[in-house]
């Protein structure tokens, strides 16, 4: 990692103000940033990612003080969560303020906002705000994860270059991401309805409940443990090109035997100490959810590139602490094997 200098930051700010793309690290994953108030700049994000334009983006802010520029009718719960978790890996869905372009909200009347905790992301956001921000003086950087649509999210600067190449003008290198999976998303935009968890992440529903005194509604996939029966009901996402299968620890030996019988090479992603014969490649992640999450995407990327026929993933514990990781593994499995 080469430490970005003030010159890099100044260049990043200039590029953003000129409507160009800048990739930057956050504590979760790397983001592909553009001036959130400039629809043409936001359109470049969708083009670079190959992402459908009706998908809303998260707007990154230097601090909760900028929230009024982007959201209206902000409920007290939002201020309380911002106070408790920002800067940090929590995205709030709120009603969109009048001046926010629909390009950034996927045409919806709501907007996703967060203040990231990575020092380089914060330095960029503060420098951007100090320089007057983007179009109409609005200070927000729209940034989805800096990967091609549906693919594995990047957790270091090299991954971003491998994913997007020349499509991004500047990649700020802040080293590997500490959290490793995307932010928790909570929807607070529904009048008279309870908060709803849209995406599990490092910040848990219980932590949210402790701040707002109310448990957010959980997505169906988190209500019942285990792999959902209809995998098509999940969005494919975070996916390697190599077909990927989740197998319980006690079923792995048999799965390997079958693959060997049909002369297929397998890669193995595990978190226990296992000794299985002749894996083509393997990665071992920590046997605890935070450490596992931190290394997950780099491991999937490495195993995908290793060129085996199948990636076998040792199933993780069915326990709420593992919900965020379980969500990423299910979606990755569901989308794997497609070009
Ligand atoms: O950790 C993160 O959140 C990373 C870093 C870069 O900040 N960003 C990220 O962005 O994961 P992306 O675009 O890959 O995922 C954004 C998610 C999508 O699932 C999108 O549907 C949801 O946020 N989202 C954004 N705005 C929304 C809105 N107004 N209503 C509902 N969902 C929204
Ligand atoms: Mg993404």
Copy the structure tokens of residue 231. Answer: 């995998």
pLDDT band, very low/low/confident/very high, at 231 (cuts 50, 70, 90): very low
Strands 71-72 and 58-60, by their bridges, are: unpaired
Ligand 1, atom 6: closest residue by C-alpha = 31
pLDDT reported for residue 224: 57
> 184: helix, coil or strand?
strand
The closest of 93, 90, 97, 56 to 73, measured between CA atoms, is 97
Site residues for ligand 1, CB cut-off 6 Å: 26, 28-29, 31, 55-58, 89, 91, 93, 105, 108, 110-112, 116, 143-145, 182-183, 185, 198-199
Give per-residue pLDDT as tens, 271-321: 998 887 778 899 999 999 999 999 999 999 999 999 999 999 999 999 999
Give per-residue pLDDT as tens, 2-49: 567 888 999 999 999 999 999 999 999 999 999 999 999 999 999 999
Q: Which atom of ligand 1 is nearest to the CA of 111?
A: 29
Counting ligand 1 atoms within 8 A of each CB, the residue from 182, 190, 237, 332 with the most, and so the one to mutate, is 182
Q: Which residues of 25-54 are buried (b: 16+ CB within 10 A; e: fewer)?
A: bbbbbbbbbbbbbbeebbebbbebbebeee
Sort residue 50 into left (φ over 0), alpha (ψ -120 to 50) or beta: left
Using CA atoms, how far apart are residues 197 and 195, in angstroms rounded to an integer? 7
Cα 185 to ligand 1 centre (Å): 7
Sort residue 160 into left (φ over 0), alpha (ψ -120 to 50) or beta: alpha
The closest of 317, 22, 240 to 143, measured between CA atoms, is 22
Residue in the structure block whose two tokens are 């990739």? 23
Q: Which atom of ligand 1 is nearest to the CA of 106?
A: 29
Cα 124 to ligand 2 centre (Å): 21
pLDDT band, very low/low/confident/very high, at 226 (cuts 50, 70, 90): very low
Cα 26 to ligand 2 centre (Å): 13
Copy the structure tokens of residue 89. Answer: 């890996």
Is residue 182 exposed (0-12), middle (13-18) or buried (19+ Cβ within 10 Å)?
A: buried
Cα 81 to ligand 1 centre (Å): 17
Using CA atoms, how far apart are residues 154 and 135, in angstroms rounded to an integer? 28
Q: Distance between alpha carbon 71 and the CA centroid of its chain, in Å?
A: 22
Ligand 1, atom 10: closest residue by C-alpha = 144
**8 Å CB contact between 130 and 14:** no
pLDDT band, very low/low/confident/very high, at 54 (cuts 50, 70, 90): confident
The residues with which 282 forms a beta bridge, in sequence order, are: 268
Give per-residue pLDDT as tens, 193-202: 999 999 999 9
pTM: 0.95
Cα 69 to ligand 2 centre (Å): 24
257 contact partners, CB below 8 Å, separation of at least 6? none
All domains in the chain, ordered by first residue: 6-212 (3.90.870.10), 244-335 (3.40.50.11030)
Using CA atoms, how far apart are residues 34 and 133, in angstroms rounded to an integer? 11
pLDDT band, very low/low/confident/very high, at 233 (cuts 50, 70, 90): very low
């Amino acid at each position: 990692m080469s430490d970005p200098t003030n010159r890099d930051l100044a260049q990043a700010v200039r590029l953003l103000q000129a409507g160009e793309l800048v990739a930057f690290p956050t504590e979760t994953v790397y983001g592909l940033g553009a001036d959130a108030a400039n629809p043409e700049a936001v359109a470049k994000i969708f083009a670079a990612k190959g992402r459908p334009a009706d998908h809303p983006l998260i707007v990154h802010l230097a601090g909760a003080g900028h929230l009024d520029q982007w959201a209206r009718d902000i409920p007290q719960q939002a201020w309380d969560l911002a106070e408790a978790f920002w800067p940090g890996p929590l995205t709030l869905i709120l009603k969109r303020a009048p001046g926010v372009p629909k390009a950034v909200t996927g045409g919806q009347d709501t907007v996703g906002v967060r203040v990231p905790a990575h020092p380089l992301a914060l330095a960029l956001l503060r420098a951007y705000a100090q320089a007057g921000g983007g179009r109409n003086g609005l200070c927000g950087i729209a940034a989805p994860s800096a990967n091609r649509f549906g693919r594995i999210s990047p957790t270091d600067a090299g991954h971003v270059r491998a994913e997007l190449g020349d499509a991004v003008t500047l990649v700020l290198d802040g080293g590997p991401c500490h959290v490793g999976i995307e932010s928790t998303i909570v929807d607070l935009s529904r009048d008279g309805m309870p908060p709803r968890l849209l995406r599990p992440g490092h910040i848990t529903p219980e932590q949210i409940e402790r701040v707002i005194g109310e448990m957010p509604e959980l997505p169906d996939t988190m209500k019942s443990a285990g792999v959902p029966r209809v995998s098509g009901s999940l969005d494919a996402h975070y996916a390697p090109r190599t077909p990927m299968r989740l197998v319980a620890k006690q079923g792995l030996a048999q799965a390997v035997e079958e693959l060997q019988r049909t002369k297929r090479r397998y890669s193995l992603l595990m978190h226990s100490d296992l000794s299985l014969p002749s894996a083509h490649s393997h990665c071992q992640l920590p046997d605890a959810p935070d450490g596992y999450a931190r290394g997950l995407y780099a491991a999937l990327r490495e195993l995908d590139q290793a060129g085996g026929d199948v990636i076998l993933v040792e199933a993780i514990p069915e326990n709420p602490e593992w919900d965020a990781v379980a969500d990423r593994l299910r979606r990755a499995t569901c989308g794997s094997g497609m070009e």
